[in-house]
Amino acid sequence: MDFEIGRSKRARRAYAFDDIAVVPSRRTRNPEDVSTSWTIDAFTFDVPVLSAPMDSVSSPEIAIAIGRLGGLGVLDLEGLWTRYEDAEDKLAQVRELEGDQVTAAMQKLYSAPIRPELIQSRLAEVRAAGVPVAGALSPQRTQEHYRTVVEAGVDLFVIRGTTVSAEHVSRSREPLNLKEFIYELDVPVIVGGAATYMAALHLMRTGAAGVLVGFGGGAASTTRATLGIHAPMATAVGDVAGARRDYLDESGGRYVHVIADGGLGTAGDIVKAIAMGADAVMLGTALARATDVPGGGWHWGQEAHHSELPRGNRVWVGQVAPLEQILFGPSPVADGTANLVGALKRSMATTGYSDLKEFQRVEVVVAPYRV
């Protein structure tokens, strides 16, 4: 069903997580009997949670902590940790920025060059802890740095940008050929954001193990006001899950994981992402509220310090509880920002489902929030 916007253009309705809700079924279940485990390639995780490669969330130390808690920490290999030896100091500087200077100061801080030896040492630190290692590069910098990353040793390689396509056109320089790149690489690749069926299908055909669904940011992003581009997440996840299903058939059985990335601020949002077909979630804002992550209550992404066209802000998300409590409770608050995994389990139990794959079939309704 599409709508006529004007005589020369028709459009589909696209839905945000806030536009929908999960509804109970006729069966209930005990939360203890519910599994949230997730397996991608050779790796099995107790919880379907990846940390977003953003400086406010993922330091080497936090990546290790998340690994130990059963998830996957993903390092941003273009952030402060690979630009500065003393990243901690620089993080403190970002946290303390005030008023009008924020954007300009961040633009300056992030203009320092990326140092290959820091990529190596940061990844080595995580590897030494015995947890799965994952690092993220943008498509623009993948060719320059991927060898360093692979040599340092990663278990999962993440290519993440605002919008990543399998077919990038450039007159000035040879663009990254994703298909060849992934084929030659030894490690599984997770790539995105993709927000539409067709974009995701093409990414799946490159051989990616997983596709990030999103348009480059959540709470801290202003993509819609600056670029006019917006891909409401419930529809985006549902469309990419549709591409997974069709590609499964087309490829004779290759299952590409769908990872929702962006707009996942509460446990309720995570529940809805999986209900719409996601296999796992990449969390920024939701983890930035931990008391022990680098942001210290602040959250920002790479869009916030773009030199010509910043498309995001450093936003205050507050501090709720330590990381472990954010994930597993007990929750000191009743607003869906802590005990994310406990809430997911209870939601699955309340609607009668016992694992994530089954839960992708739960019924949803259109029921917009009233603010």
> Which residues in the 77-106 window bind its own copies by CB under 8 A?
103-104
Considering only residues 127 to 156 of the shown chain, the ones binding its own copies according to CB under 8 A are: none
Per CB under 8 A, the segment of 45-53, 108-116, 144-152, 306-314 that binds its own copies is 306-314
CA-to-CA distance for 333 and 325, rounded, in angstroms?
11
Question: What is residue 85's DSSP assignment?
Answer: T
Q: Is 196 in the site for its own copies (CB under 8 A)?
A: yes
Task: Read off the amino acid at residue 335.
Answer: D
SS3 80: helix
Q: How many chain residues are in contact with its own copies, going by CB under 8 A?
A: 116
Which is nearer to its own copies, 152 or 258 (by Cβ)? 258
Q: Is 164 in the site for its own copies (CB under 8 A)?
A: yes
Tell which one of 69, 313, 320, 356 touches its own copies (CB under 8 A): 313
Cβ proximity of 119 and 127 under 8 Å: no
SS3 162: coil
Per CB under 8 A, the segment of 5-13, 57-65, 113-121, 249-257 that binds its own copies is 5-13
Q: What character string, x for contact with its own copies (CB under 8 A) and - otherwise, covers 269-298? A: xxxx--xxx---------------------
Query: In this structure, which long-range contacts are made by residues 6-15, counting pairs with CB atoms below 8 Å and at least 24 apart in sequence?
Result: 12/235, 14/230, 14/231, 14/232, 14/235, 14/236, 15/232, 15/234, 15/235, 15/366
Please, what's the largest Cα pairwise distance for the chain? 61
Tell which one of 151, 167, 180, 250 touches its own copies (CB under 8 A): 167
Tell which one of 113, 170, 184, 249 touches its own copies (CB under 8 A): 170
Residue whose pair of structure tokens reads 């590069």 in the numeric block: 137
Q: Is 7 in the site for its own copies (CB under 8 A)?
A: yes
Q: How crowded is residue 165: how many other Cβ atoms within 10 Å of its Cβ?
A: 17
Q: Is 311 in the site for its own copies (CB under 8 A)?
A: yes
Residue 146 parent element (H or E): helix 139-152
Q: Is 367 in the site for its own copies (CB under 8 A)?
A: yes
Task: Read off the amino acid at residue 252.
Answer: G
295 burial type by CB count under 10 A (0-12 exposed, 13-18 middle, 19+ buried):
buried
Residue 238 parent element (H or E): helix 233-250
Which is nearer to its own copies, 7 or 98 (by Cβ)? 7
Which is nearer to its own copies, 3 or 252 (by Cβ)? 3
Write down the least CB distance from residue 206 to its own copies, Å: 12
Q: Is 352 in the site for its own copies (CB under 8 A)?
A: yes
Q: What character string, x for contact with its own copies (CB under 8 A) and - otherwise, covers 237-276? A: xxxxxxx-x--------------------xxxxxxx--xx
Write down the least CB distance from residue 75 to its own copies, Å: 24
Cβ proximity of 135 and 124 under 8 Å: no
Q: Is 174 in the site for its own copies (CB under 8 A)?
A: no
Tell which one of 51, 56, 148, 347 touches its own copies (CB under 8 A): 347
Task: Read off the amino acid at residue 59.
Answer: S
Residue 148 parent element (H or E): helix 139-152
Write down the least CB distance from residue 290 to its own copies, Å: 17
Residue whose pair of structure tokens reads 């193990």 in the numeric block: 209
CA-to-CA distance for 285 and 279, rounded, in angstroms?
19
SS3 63: helix
Considering only residues 15 to 54 of the shown chain, the ones binding its own copies according to CB under 8 A are: 15-16, 18, 20-30, 32-33
Task: Read off the amino acid at residue 255.
Answer: Y
Considering only residues 200 to 219 of the shown chain, the ones binding its own copies according to CB under 8 A are: 201-202, 215
Tell which one of 98, 113, 184, 225 touches its own copies (CB under 8 A): 225
Considering only residues 323 to 342 of the shown chain, the ones binding its own copies according to CB under 8 A are: 329-336, 339, 342
Q: Is 160 in the site for its own copies (CB under 8 A)?
A: no
Q: Is 194 in the site for its own copies (CB under 8 A)?
A: yes
